[in-house]
């Protein structure tokens, strides 16, 4: 069974600072995908970034980037120039794709990120 | 991505009753998923719904409690049966766009059981 661990229940940084959220996972699969989702107070789950395990290059999306260390099974999210609107719960998630299609996501417990003005 | 809607957005129900949650997507998708998010918790997969086949349930979730329908490629329902206060949660559907290898979520249904 796959597991996803987020060891930081809550983090707080000042606006414009850079913050890194940690995530580790455990799997015996070789083909899998990793995601970071953001959940603001509205409870809508918003995809932030995704990473394919077979790609060595780290994914980036504007101010968001990941540090994917496959051997260490680590997948951290870096948010640069943090903004007040980044305040939210951030969930790390994992899935595999079998021959029949997508599998469901396994989520970490989440990190509550607070951006202070 | 896709536009995903859920109905109702929220509801307050009495224990012992049942509620059916609808999930509609604006494009045809093969895989749809249902998740539960209990208060202050992360998301847990309830089941996977493929069109034309029985839903596949995760450990701890049973069809009698959470029956699922998937009548076509754009629609699914989840019923929460014989509800108790422990069923108070946010229920979210998600879809995996063919070839997209990424899941997108509906806005969720907030359920409170009294």
CATH no. for residue B64? 2.60.40.10
Q: Nearest chain A Cα to B1, which residue?
A: A47
Read off the pLDDT of each residue in A78-95 and give the average, rounded to a whole number: 97
pLDDT at A71 over 80: yes
* Domain count along chain B: 1
* Greater pLDDT, A99 or A28: A28
- Cβ–Cβ gap A102/B96 under 8 Å: yes
CATH 1.20.140.10 fits A3-116, yes or no: no
Q: Does residue A15 carry a pLDDT above 80?
A: yes
Average pLDDT of the segment spanning A98-112: 86
Residues of B with Cβ-Cβ distance to A103 under 8 angstroms: 48
CB pairs A-B closer than 8 Å: 60
At residue A92, the pLDDT reads: 98
Query: Which residue has tokens 């970034």?
Result: A49
Q: Is B86 in a helix, a strand, or coil?
A: helix
Per DSSP, the three-state class of A84 is helix
Residues of A in contact with B1 (CB under 8 A): 47
pLDDT of residue B82: 97
Q: What is the pLDDT of residue B100?
A: 61
- CA nearest A32: which of A53, A8, A3? A53
With CA atoms as reference, the chain B residue closest to A98 would be B101
With beta carbons less than 8 A apart as the criterion, state whether B108 and A44 touch: yes
Q: Flag whether B51 is in a domain.
A: yes
**Inside any domain, residue B7:** no
Q: Is residue B40 part of a domain?
A: yes
On whether residue B3 sits in a domain, the answer given is: no
Residues of A in contact with B45 (CB under 8 A): 104-106
Q: A117 CA to chain B: closest CA distance, Å?
A: 25
- Cβ-defined contact of A102 to B107 (cutoff 8 Å): no
Mean of pLDDT over chain B: 94
Q: Which domain holds residue B72?
A: 24-97
Q: How far apart are CA B57 and CA B65, in angstroms?
A: 11
pLDDT by residue (tens digit) across B61-103? 999 999 999 999 999 999 999 999 999 999 999 998 756 678 9
Query: pLDDT confidence of A45, banded at 50, 70, 90?
Result: very high
* B54 occurs within a structural domain: yes
Query: Chain A residues with CB inside 8 Å of B33's CB?
Result: 104-105
- CA atoms within a 13 Å half-sphere pointing along the CA-CB vector of A49: 20
Confidence of residue B49 (pLDDT cuts 50, 70, 90): very high
- The distance of A104 to chain B (nearest Cα, Å) reads 7
């Amino acid at each position: 069974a796959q597991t996803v661990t987020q060891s930081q229940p809550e983090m707080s940084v000042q606006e414009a600072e850079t913050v890194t959220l940690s995530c580790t996972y455990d799997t015996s699969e070789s083909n899998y995908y990793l995601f970071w989702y953001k959940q603001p107070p509205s409870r809508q789950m918003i995809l932030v970034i995704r990473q394919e395990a077979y790609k060595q290059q780290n994914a980036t999306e504007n101010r968001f980037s990941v540090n994917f260390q496959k051997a260490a099974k680590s997948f951290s999210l870096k948010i640069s120039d943090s903004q007040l609107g980044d305040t939210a719960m951030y969930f790390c998630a994992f899935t595999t794709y079998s021959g029949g299609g997508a599998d469901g996501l396994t989520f970490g417990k989440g990190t509550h990120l607070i951006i202070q003005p | 991505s896709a536009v995903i809607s859920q109905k109702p957005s929220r509801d307050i129900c009495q224990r012992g009753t049942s509620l059916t949650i609808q999930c509609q997507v604006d494009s045809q998708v093969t895989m749809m998923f249902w998740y539960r998010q209990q208060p202050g918790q992360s998301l847990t997969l309830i089941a996977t719904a493929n069109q034309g086949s029985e839903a596949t349930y995760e450990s701890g979730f049973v069809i009698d409690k959470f029956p699922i329908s998937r009548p076509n490629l754009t629609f699914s329902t989840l019923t929460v049966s014989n509800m108790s206060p422990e069923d108070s949660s946010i229920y979210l559907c998600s879809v995996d766009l063919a070839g997209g290898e990424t899941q997108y979520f509906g806005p969720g249904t907030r359920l409170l059981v009294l």
